[in-house]
Amino acid sequence: MRNLLITGGAGFIGANFVHHMLERYTDYQIVVFDKLTYAGRRENLARWEEDPRFTFVQGDICDMAAVRAAVKAHAIDTIVNFAAETHVDRSILAPDAVITTNVNGTWTLLEVARSMQLERFHQISTDEVYGAIPAPQRSREGDPLEPRSPYSASKAGAEHLVYAYFITYGLPVTVTRGSNNIGPFHYPEKAVPLFTTNALDNQPLPVYGDGLQVRDYQFVRDHCEAIDLVLQKGQLGEIYNVGTEVETANIDMAHKILDILDKPYSLITHVADRAGHDRRYALDCSKLRALGWRSRHTFDAALEQTVRWFVEHEAWWRPIKSGEYLEYYKRQYHDRT
Ligand code: NAD
Ligand code: DAU
């Protein structure tokens, strides 16, 4: 593994993964292949633009000819697929994009990987494929998949294709299922950056329903380290959960953000719940730990670092919260309040 195609590398986790890999490995070539949708930001990768180990290609993972050309031109041996439509709320408003990119796009990449005999295809998946998990149960990799939103169903569909290519064609694949990430470059439509940037502007924090839904919020760089570890040491055909195993209710997360920013709890506004909102996700990560992985950040440290990043990088998020973002915000929140 030396020449990696990082699809979706201009997005939140993809960009953090590019930073991680270029910082850690001096002899890897990293090619980011990204469509630059509303969520893809070239500026997330600005620090590498002059680095000879880094190349950016704008393209759609559903465009087989473009993917094939990039793989050939850069002698790619490994694809790490981050590219996806990732927002559950947008997938409820308009499901077509998640089906196209997350299912068809993943299939396109698999076809290229198979026909060009790549060394490895790694799929970035999500804890959402398990569906809502009643306490005190924790999801293990062999558990049944019960996705309940268009987004999570599309990610489960993609995973099934990945496994089918492993079994049918012997394509060397691995999969990671991550819990909620937080950290630098998080697009401010997702709860933590949305609540943080709204609080900075003294705007309401729209908490869905009673706010007692449980998530496992992990620092994005911890997730990136885990993906790297699975690329190096993971067994082919295997799936690895990635999370902290610490449970946080959304309302507690909102309170902590307000505490860090010294803002009043009165900014919290309970709004109509997300349709089909999964009440709880909880992973068992012992399989990953057996590879030697430990999460480096506690939830409090991860949240503090994330909120501080947004305080210090207003020039990054302020321009995003305009134009298409405001139209989406109106569609998503206007009738909820
Ligand atoms: P993001 O929305 O921030 O970024 C997605 C990136 O994919 C963007 O750069 C976008 O331009 C690109 N993209 C979208 N459609 C594309 C297409 N058709 N062709 C090429 N590029 C395309 O997403 P993220 O939060 O960084 O998530 C990355 C991956 O991790 C996704 O596969 C997601 O399902 C998975 N995941 C995310 C989380 C999380 O908490 N954010 C947790 C677990 C798993
Ligand atoms: O669990 C992994 C998943 O985490 C990833 O697969 C997804 O790509 C990623 O977007 C994320 O999905 P969530 O739906 O959990 O993330 P989001 O930040 O949108 O919401 C986190 C929680 O906060 C969830 O319970 C819904 C709630 N929420 C969200 C928003 C946007 C609110 O209460 N209010 C909001 O305005």
Q: How far apart are CA 225 and CA 233, in angstroms?
A: 12
In a domain, 85, yes or no: yes
With 0-12 / 13-18 / 19 or more C-beta atoms within 10 angstroms meaning exposed / middle / buried, residue 111 is middle
Of the residues 128, 189, 222, 247, only one is catalytic, namely: 128
Does pLDDT of 82 surpass 90? yes
DSSP category for residue 94 = -
Same domain, residue pair 250 and 121 = no
Same domain, residue pair 71 and 99 = yes
Q: How far apart are CA 43 and CA 164, in angstroms?
A: 36
Compute the average pLDDT of residues 211-233.
98
**Predicted local confidence at residue 1, as pLDDT:** 83
In a domain, 52, yes or no: yes
Q: What is the CATH number of the domain that holds 51?
A: 3.40.50.720
Q: How far apart are CA 65 and CA 44, in angstroms?
A: 26
Residue 156 phi/psi, 5-degree rounding, is -65, -40
Same domain, residue pair 222 and 121 = yes
Same domain, residue pair 260 and 158 = no
Residue 234: which domain range? 3-181+218-242
Q: Which of 180, 267, 329 to mutate for ligand 2's pocket (most ligand atoms within 8 Å of CB)?
A: 180
Does pLDDT of 221 surpass 80? yes
Does pLDDT of 5 surpass 80? yes
SS3 224: helix
- The closest-lying atom of ligand 2 relative to the alpha carbon of residue 88 is 14
Same domain, residue pair 34 and 61 = yes
Same domain, residue pair 79 and 175 = yes
Q: How far apart are CA 89 and CA 150, in angstroms?
A: 9
Does pLDDT of 337 surpass 90? no
Q: DSSP letter string over 287-324?
A: HHHTTT------HHHHHHHHHHHHHHTHHHHTTTSSTH
Does pLDDT of 240 surpass 80? yes
Nearest to 186 by CA among 11, 9, 5, 6: 11
Compute the average pLDDT of residues 69-77.
98
Compute the average pLDDT of residues 115-143.
98
Same domain, residue pair 167 and 202 = no
- The closest-lying atom of ligand 1 relative to the alpha carbon of residue 105 is 18
- The closest-lying atom of ligand 2 relative to the alpha carbon of residue 86 is 8
Q: Are 234 and 299 in contact (CB under 8 A)?
A: no
- Residue nearest (by alpha carbon) to ligand 1 atom 34: 86
Q: How far apart are CA 229 and CA 30, in angstroms?
A: 17
Whether 127 is a known active-site residue: answer: yes
Same domain, residue pair 159 and 199 = no
Same domain, residue pair 223 and 77 = yes
Going from the C-alpha of 107 to that of each of 63, 65, 67, 91, 309, the distances in angstroms are 11, 13, 12, 19, 36
What angle, 0 to 180 degrees and rounded to 10, lies between the N-to-C axes of helices 64-73 and 106-115? 40
Same domain, residue pair 137 and 267 = no
Whether 128 is a known active-site residue: answer: yes
Q: How many domains does the chain have?
A: 2
Q: How far apart are CA 38 and CA 56, in angstroms?
A: 17
Going from the C-alpha of 64 to that of each of 79, 100, 108, the distances in angstroms are 14, 13, 6
- Residue nearest (by alpha carbon) to ligand 1 atom 10: 40
Q: Which of 37, 41, 108, 128 to mutate for ligand 1's pocket (most ligand atoms within 8 Å of CB)?
A: 37
Q: DSSP letter string over 172-197?
A: -EEEEEE--EESTT--TTSHHHHHHH
- The closest-lying atom of ligand 2 relative to the alpha carbon of residue 207 is 33
Same domain, residue pair 227 and 253 = no
Q: Dihedral sign, CA of 92, 244, 261, 45?
A: negative
Q: How far apart are CA 81 and CA 107, in angstroms?
A: 11
User: Rounded to the nearest whole angstrom, what is the distance from the C-alpha of residue 7 to the centroid of ligand 1?
Assistant: 9
In a domain, 285, yes or no: no
pLDDT per residue as tens digits for the range 261-317: 999 999 999 999 999 999 999 999 999 999 999 999 999 999 999 999 999 999 999
pLDDT band, residue 131 (cuts 50/70/90): very high
**Amino acid letter at 297?**
H
Angle among Cα 41, 46, 52 to the nearest 5 degrees reads 125
Same domain, residue pair 64 and 84 = yes
Q: How far apart are CA 287 and CA 300, in angstroms?
A: 25
Going from the C-alpha of 112 to that of each of 105, 130, 133, 193, the distances in angstroms are 11, 28, 35, 35
pLDDT per residue as tens digits for the range 28-69: 999 999 999 999 999 999 999 999 999 999 999 999 999 999
Beta carbon of 128 within 6 Å of any ligand 2 atom: yes
In a domain, 278, yes or no: no
In a domain, 279, yes or no: no
In a domain, 232, yes or no: yes
Compute the average pLDDT of residues 226-241.
98
Question: What is the pLDDT of the chain when averaged over all its residues?
Answer: 98
Whether 43 is a known active-site residue: answer: no
Does pLDDT of 9 surpass 90? yes
* pTM, rounded to two decimals: 0.99
